[in-house]
Amino acid sequence: MFDDRVVIVTGAARGLGRDYARFFASDGARVVLADVHRLDGALRDASADGARCIAVQTDITKRDSVAALMEETLSQFGKLDILVNNAGIWRGLYDSRLLDCSDDLWDAAWAVNVTGTLRCSQAAVPLMTDNGFGRIVNVSSLASQSGASPYGLTKNAIEQMTKGLAREVGGVGITVNCVAPGITMFEAAKDSLPDAEAQVADYTVKRIGTSRDLYHAIAYLCSPSAEWITGQTLRVDGGASAR
């Protein structure tokens, strides 16, 4: 589906981002894996079937680091078509409350989830504008709907940012959308979400989500079929937000 497309996935060292990178690669894309942590294992996974992928260690909160990510993408692949702003902080933050959230946690959450998403988008848009085509997919969360927690507030900001960016780039062939996952499980999340089974008992579709469930939504938003969809948040959560 993505032959000839060049895709950046942030937060690709582990978790959902690592899977998205692998799935894009197996759908024909050339993938740039970006993360503040080492990406050796994720790069091996994504390249396993012979796809052309590179890894660029990137701190999305730092403007210089994001600029270097874009430069490396251009120098290796000559263009950028798709940016998936997946990197985010939720561990340790997910259950925190407004009244006792530490300054460090609050600042880190806004720096990564909100500022990082914006910085990557700001840096990607000129490349996509040159290209005459672009798809940006941001990542929110079910938590944006279920009360104003510190985590939920950052994800709410991402949903609003999605609308604002979409309006600003609408005339140049770029769409900006967002997916808002419900609880999505993979091996590394098990320790951080010990009560996941209990939580999804209340979902409309009574199972934990998978990285494939989310990838299908992201891939659709990046496909030609979604050309007329922009500024939207697609809730991929087993109907949890419809309760």
| Residues making contact with ligand NAD (CB under 6 A) | 10-11, 13-17, 35-37, 58-61, 86-91, 112, 116, 139, 141, 181, 183-184, 188-189
Q: Is 151 a catalytic residue?
A: yes
Cα(121)–Cα(166) distance, rounded to whole angstroms?
A: 11
Cα(154)–Cα(184) distance, rounded to whole angstroms?
A: 19
Closer CB to ligand NAD, 78 or 98, in the complex: 98
Shortest distance, CB of residue 134 to ligand NAD, whole angstroms? 20
Closer CB to ligand NAD, 145 or 230, in the complex: 145
Shortest distance, CB of residue 97 to ligand NAD, whole angstroms? 18
Inter-residue long-range contacts of 74-78, CB under 8 Å, 24+ positions, other chains counted: 74/127, 76/32, 77/6, 77/30, 77/32, 77/52, 78/6
Reduced 3-state DSSP string for 72-111: HHHHHHCCCCEEEECCCCCCCCCCCCCCCCCHHHHHHHHH
Q: Which of 20, 94, 151, 215 is catalytic?
A: 151
Closer CB to ligand NAD, 183 or 234, in the complex: 183
Shortest distance, CB of residue 168 to ligand NAD, whole angstroms? 22
Q: Active-site residues: which are they?
A: 151
